[in-house]
Structure 1
Amino acid sequence: MHATLIAEDFAGMWSQGRGLAERVGFSWERQPIFMRKGDVWQCLPARLWPSPLKRVEPFVLSPKTDVIISLGGRGGIIGAALGKHYGLPVIQVQNPRTSLEPYAVVIAHHHDQLEGKNVFLTRTALHGVTEDVLKQAFPQWKAIIRTDEKPVLGVLLGGSNGRFRFDVSEAAHIAQQLGHFIRQRNVSCVITPSRRTSPEALTLLKTELEPLGGRFLEGTGQNNPYMGVLACSDMLAVTMDSVSMISEAVATSLPVGILPLSGHSKRIAHFIKMLEKQGRVHSFSADLPLETAERLDDTSLAAEEIRRYMKL
């Protein structure tokens, strides 16, 4: 079966949709949402849009499409409209913040506290980080990431968004924390930024950490070091702005420390607290444990739910 992913053009959205589709066994393609220029409705939440398909650039679904996987708020509204137009089932990822009736299945987080006969709740975001994927990445990145006998601290950096700020002042605090950790624990440190990491914050981090041996790895496509950092590190540090990055980190068996940022999100705070209670993440400090931990991966459970619904 073939799925078309509908979402705003954010890496985290595509990661979740791709991860779910591949676990189910769907082939897939993606179609990003682009607003029509000058549309006055785009300043309002998508659930309030009249005629949602008129608010965005036109979609023409592939005739191969058997199911739509919509992601996020705008993705959910557009996905529901496309499903109605084409007569296709729609699987919604994340709380659409509107009626759940148009969706065959809604995959949401426990912290969304959604209820409904078509709702399936997961502890973590959906993703494609499996043991097989990590095993494949390890030999490709081992020589680049594990350059000596020291344990490796892998650092995943996000960036500013509507809830958290990651500017120079936050970068200075993170640099101080990482520098202290490198000196106290005598580790190698490999840092990979995201597209959202500001150039100014990244420059400060490089200035402070490269003299301590910190190495910064960047790349796209096959040269993206992200999966290599997950596969080859002994412990991880992740900024608190991204449920997706934290979910991918805890899908490994590595201890995970959370790096604080300015700002607040009730939803993300609830998510992190849940993982802390399970002993799966910790506030980042020099006391971060080195012991391996349980892999948390609810994507396979969500995929089973989709297979049951689709009778696969």
Structure 2
Amino acid sequence: MKQSTATALAACLAVHDGRAGNARQALALARALQPQAGELVLQPRAPWRWWAPRRLPGAAFGLGAPLRTALTQPPGLAVGCGRQAALATRLLRRAGARAVQILDPRLPPRHWDLLVVPEHDRLRGDNVLTVRGSLHPVDDDWLLRAVPAFPALAALPAPHTVLLVGGPSRHAALDDTEFAALLRQLAAHARAEGGSFSAIASRRTPPAWRAALGAVDAGVPGLRWRDTGDGANPYAGLLAHADRLVCTPDSVNMLSEAAATHAPLFLWQAARVRGRVQRFAAQLLDDGRARALDAALDAYPVTPLRETAWVAAQLRQRLGLR
């Protein structure tokens, strides 16, 4: 698979179905390879979306007009994430593009040039790369760009504790009452040490938790963001300005991005989750990148966990790109 001489990367295209987690990973890797990489958002419909990435007759029509256009002038490299994208990258590969697929497509690896899958998946092969967490754009440059974009955060008293909030799911048995107690704990800690406490909701955050964010003691400095009614999403700025991060343990994507910063990371109720996110959280705790939430929240030495640049370097080498 590795070529003897590197060739310039032609147009690179991130392919996804519009779901935020899939878009985040596909765009992060595509733009790590080529900052000007384009984006193709699929428009899947039945029955093709039910069977993806298996190829039914008429599959190109079942994923939307943007894909049909791309098939007439395929990119040099298509980077997809998710089942719908796995079908699209198969089709683009048949049209002449090289194809990289993120997450296990549940088909043999031979249908793609390279696959990037989580370590816990059983899929292995000569063209399979494994990663611990999720791919994302968070690195020092990304964090530095976020600092001037949110100048008000720099004025908050240190240490600045930032809570990243997800929500309960079938894999995360998280309780409303306990979440309210978590907010009181972190607000009281910030008050006692003369610092600040910010918190930000996500798409997964339920209404009761958003309401609890709005009820945090207004006398504690910080930003509690529930939705766009509270202004522009300050997520990037909060990661960049955090002196410590606390996470609800329900999302591998969120934990991966928190672990990519230089801030100490504390996990709330990691024992209450199951499945892939539990295994990833356990890895973060075992290797010392994260600690279980306690009353002290003491700082500790941090080495950011960043995998996107390593994956991009592997792709360049294996596909002979420069």
Normalising TM by the smaller chain, what interval? 0.7 to 0.9
Query: Residues 1-312 of structure 1 correspond to what in structure 2 (within 5 A)?
Result: 1-25=10-34, 27-36=36-45, 39=46, 44=50, 46-47=52-53, 50-51=56-57, 52-53=59-60, 55-58=62-65, 59-62=67-70, 63=73, 65-84=75-94, 86-141=95-150, 143-161=151-169, 163-164=171-172, 168-169=176-177, 171-183=179-191, 185-217=193-225, 223-260=232-269, 264-311=273-320, 312=322
CA distance in 1 between partners of 2:79 and 2:233 (Å): 25
CA distance in 1 between partners of 2:265 and 2:299 (Å): 9
- Residue type at the aligned position of 1:67: L
Unmatched segments (≥5 aa) in structure 1: none
* Structure 1 residue 162 displacement after superposition: 5.4
Q: Secondary structure at the residue paired with 2:216? A: helix
* Structure 1 residue 26 displacement after superposition: 5.1
CA distance in 2 between partners of 1:157 and 1:54 (Å): 38
Matched pairs, number: 306
CA distance in 2 between partners of 1:55 and 1:159 (Å): 33
The answer to whether the 8 Å contact 1:282/1:288 transfers is no
The answer to whether the 8 Å contact 2:13/2:78 transfers is yes
Q: Secondary structure at the residue paired with 1:135? A: helix
- Residue type at the aligned position of 1:15: R
* Structure 1 residue 67 displacement after superposition: 1.3
CA root-mean-square deviation: 2.9
2:4 aligns to what? none
Mean Cα deviation higher: 294-303 or 86-95: 86-95
CA distance in 2 between partners of 1:136 and 1:207 (Å): 31
Q: CA distance change for structure 1 residues 265 and 61 in 2, over 3 Å: closer, same or farther? A: farther
Unmatched segments (≥5 aa) in structure 2: 1-9
- Residue type at the aligned position of 1:57: G
- Residue type at the aligned position of 1:270: R
* Structure 1 residue 24 displacement after superposition: 1.6
The answer to whether the 8 Å contact 2:74/2:92 transfers is no
Question: Given the two structures, how large is their TM-score scaled by the length of structure 2?
Answer: 0.83
The answer to whether the 8 Å contact 1:3/1:68 transfers is yes
The answer to whether the 8 Å contact 1:185/1:286 transfers is no
The answer to whether the 8 Å contact 1:164/1:262 transfers is no
* Structure 1 residue 229 displacement after superposition: 0.8
CA distance in 2 between partners of 1:3 and 1:121 (Å): 22
Once the two structures are aligned, what percentage of the paired residues are identical?
25
CA deviation map 1:6-60 (0-9, x unaligned): 2221222222222212222253222223332xx3675x56356744545443423
Q: Secondary structure at the residue paired with 1:111? A: coil
Question: Given the two structures, how large is their TM-score scaled by the length of structure 1?
Answer: 0.85
The answer to whether the 8 Å contact 1:170/1:261 transfers is no
Q: Secondary structure at the residue paired with 2:68? A: coil
Q: Secondary structure at the residue paired with 1:189? A: strand
* Structure 1 residue 5 displacement after superposition: 1.8
- Residue type at the aligned position of 2:80: S
CA distance in 1 between partners of 2:155 and 2:305 (Å): 28
CA distance in 2 between partners of 1:177 and 1:109 (Å): 34
